[in-house]
Structure 1
Amino acid sequence: MPFQLNDAKAHLKEHGWCKIPSVLSTDEAAAVLDRLWKAKEEAEKRGEDTYMPLIDPNPSNIRVFYLLELDPIFRDLIANPTAIEMVKSVLGESFLISNFTANIARPGSQSMALHSDQSLVFPEPWRDVWAVNVIWCLTDVSKANGATLYIPGSNNYVSRRDVPANARELLVPFEGKAGDIIVMDGRVWHTSGANVTADQDRALLFGYYTAPFVRQQVNWTAKLPREIQDTLSPEMREWLGLNPLGNVGVAGDLRYLSVQYPEDDAVVAK
C-alpha cells in the first residue's frame, strides 16, 4: 500500500510524531552525508566548536551548526516540500525557520539531557504546539547506534510534573532507514541515544521550525552573508525572518475598521 501523507499528519497530531519513509533515496542521503562531513571541516576551520560539553557528555557526539550557510544542499532540504507540508499541518501557513543543525553520534557517544524543545524556552503550561523538528536520517538509525529516544504520549505533558520518575525506563527509539524523515512536535520529551556499536555512525539533521512569534535560535540576518541572502526566494526570506517587517497579522485582524465594523446603513442615513 502506498504511503499516505494524510495518515502521517493524523499520526503526528495524535502522537506528536510521525515517520515518512524514503523522502530521500539511499544515494541522495549518502551524498548529503558526504557534504555534511565537509561542512563539519569548514565549520572547524572557521573556529566553530563541533563538540558542546554543555549538552553532550563526550566528543563522540558531533554537532554542526549554521548548516544553511555552509552548503546550498541544506537550504534545499530545509525547504523540502514534504517537510514544509508537515510543518504547516502543525504550525499553519506562517512559521519561522529557527535553526538547522546536524548531530552525528559516533561509537561511544552518550545521551544528552531528557527534554522537550518547548520546555527549554516556554514557561508551563505547554498546551499548544509552537515548535516542530523535522529529523533527516542520513544513515540507517537504530537504538544501538544512537537513535533519538522519546517517551510515547509525552506530547500530552503540560508541565514538568507530568514527567514520571521512571522516565528513563519509558524511552523508545525513533528508528529508520537512510532517507527517512521523522517529524516531532515541540512537546515530545526526548534525548539523544547512546551509540554502543563498534563502528557505526548515526547521522541526523534537525530542521527546527517555530511559530512566528517565537524568537529564532539563529539571527539569520546577521549570520547569512549578503551574497547568500540575495539568492533566496521571497518565501525563504520570509521563513528566515530576513524581511524588515515580521510578526504582524499572524493571529489578529488587520482589516480596515470600515470592513471590520461596517456602519449601519440606517445610522448613516440619519
Structure 2
Amino acid sequence: MSETTSKLHIDKYAHIKAHFQEHGWAIVPSVLSKEKATTILKKLWEVADIQEARGYTRFNPFMDPNANNVRIWYQPEIHNVFTELSFHPVALGLVEAGLGSRPILSNFNTNIARSGTESMALHSDQSLTYPGPWNHTWVVNAAWCLTDVRAENGATMYLPGSHKFTTREQIPPNAPGLLVPFNAKAGDLILFSGALWHTSGVNRTQDEDRAILFGYYTAPHLRTQMNWTAKIARNLQDLKTPEQRRILCLDDMVDLSAEGDFRYLKEQYPNLAI
C-alpha cells in the first residue's frame, strides 16, 4: 500500500469514527461485496434449516410480534461465515474505537425481516445489559447488511440523539414518530452504540427480505449473553487464536486489562521502601 493510499484509508476511518462519536452510529460502505453478502445469506438459510432440525425455533415471540421476523442464532460449527465476520478486522477496529481496547463478543445472530414483519420493542442494547444510569458506552453493534436496508423493507429504526440518554425517563412520549431508518446497501457495515435506542422496522414490501447479521460486542468487564464455552465445540475452540479466544472468553481467567495495573507492588512504587 502506497503512502497516499494509506493516508486515504486512515482518513476514511477517522471520519467514520468521528461520526460514530457524535451521532452514536456510522455506516461503512461496501465492506463486503454484494456477491459475498448474497452468498452469506444463502448459507444462513441453510443454517436456519439445520437449527430447526435441532429444535431451535426461528420465531421468538418474546422478541417479535409475528413469525415473519426470522432469528438465526450463532452456530459456528455449521459454517465458518460466523467466525469470518465475528473477527473481521474492519469491524473489530471500529468497535475498539467505540468501546476502547479489548472488546469481547457477547452475541452474534441474524435477523431477517420478511414481508409483514412488525416492530419489536423500542430498546437500547445497553439497557438490556446493565441498569442505568448509562453514563458510558459499554456496547457496540456491528450490523452486517446482507441485503439493501431501507424503511420499506423493515430497516432498523433509531431515535436520533438517544445515545446520550442516561435514563429511560429521557425517552420522549412520542418516540415512535421520531424514529429514523438506517439506509444502507448490501455489503455495508452499520455500527451503532449500545446506548442508541432503536427497534426493528415494519416490512411493507410484498416479497422482499431485509437481512442483517448483528455482532454484539461489549467492554471486557461485562458478562457475555452467550456462553461460548458451552456453545462452541471443544475441537473448534482449540483452533482459535489467542486473540479469538480472548474475544470469546474461552480461557479460564477473565480479562483484567480494562483499567488495570497488575504489576507487583514494588514495581508500582519503585521509589518507596516496601
User: For 2:95 and 2:87, how far apart are their aligned partners in 1?
Assistant: 10
Alpha-carbon offset, residue 133 of structure 1: 0.4
**SS at 1:251's partner residue?**
coil
Alpha-carbon offset, residue 250 of structure 1: 2.3
Alpha-carbon offset, residue 228 of structure 1: 1.2
Residue in 2 aligned with 1:59?
Answer: 67
Q: Which moved more, 1:61-70 or 1:235-244?
A: 61-70
Residue in 1 aligned with 2:206?
Answer: 198
User: For 1:197 and 1:220, how far apart are their aligned partners in 2?
Assistant: 36
Q: Does the CA contact (< 8 Å) of 1:67 and 1:100 recur in 2?
A: no
Residue in 2 aligned with 1:186?
Answer: 194
In the alignment, structure 1 residue 247 sits paired with structure 2 residue 271: no
- What percentage of aligned pairs have identical amino acids? 48
Q: Which moved more, 1:91-100 or 1:245-254?
A: 245-254
Residue in 1 aligned with 2:157?
Answer: 149
Alpha-carbon offset, residue 69 of structure 1: 3.7
Alpha-carbon offset, residue 249 of structure 1: 3.4
List structure 1 runs of 4+ shifted beyond 2 angstroms. 67-70
Partner residue of 1:256 out of 264, 268, 271: 264
Alpha-carbon offset, residue 261 of structure 1: 1.1
Q: CA offsets per residue over residues 183-221 of structure 1, 9 Å max, x none?
A: 011100000001000010000000000011111011000
Partner residue of 2:41 out of 10, 33, 45: 33
Residue in 2 aligned with 1:92?
Answer: 100
Q: Does the CA contact (< 8 Å) of 2:101 and 2:258 recur in 1?
A: no
Alignment of 1:121-200 (within 5 A): 121-200=129-208
Structure 1 unpaired stretches of 5+: none
Q: Does the CA contact (< 8 Å) of 2:86 and 2:215 recur in 1?
A: yes
Alignment of 1:221-236 (within 5 A): 221-236=229-244
User: For 2:106 and 2:223, how far apart are their aligned partners in 1?
Assistant: 8
User: For 1:130 and 1:207, how far apart are their aligned partners in 2?
Assistant: 14
The residue identity in structure 1 corresponding to 2:160 is P
User: For 1:108 and 1:124, how far apart are their aligned partners in 2?
Assistant: 34
Residue in 2 aligned with 1:207?
Answer: 215
Partner residue of 1:80 out of 85, 88, 99: 88
Alpha-carbon offset, residue 4 of structure 1: 0.5
TM (norm. structure 1) is: 0.95
Q: Does the CA contact (< 8 Å) of 1:91 and 1:211 recur in 2?
A: yes
The residue identity in structure 1 corresponding to 2:221 is F
Alpha-carbon offset, residue 68 of structure 1: 3.0
Residue in 1 aligned with 2:5?
Answer: none
Pairs aligned (count): 266
User: For 1:136 and 1:211, how far apart are their aligned partners in 2?
Assistant: 20
The residue identity in structure 2 corresponding to 1:17 is W
What is the aligned-residue RMSD (CA, Å)? Answer: 1.5
The residue identity in structure 2 corresponding to 1:179 is G
User: For 1:172 and 1:249, how far apart are their aligned partners in 2?
Assistant: 37
Q: CA offsets per residue over residues 111-147 of structure 1, 9 Å max, x none?
A: 0000000112221111100011000000011100000
TM (norm. structure 2) is: 0.94
User: For 1:133 and 1:152, how far apart are their aligned partners in 2?
Assistant: 16
User: For 1:231 and 1:73, how far apart are their aligned partners in 2?
Assistant: 15
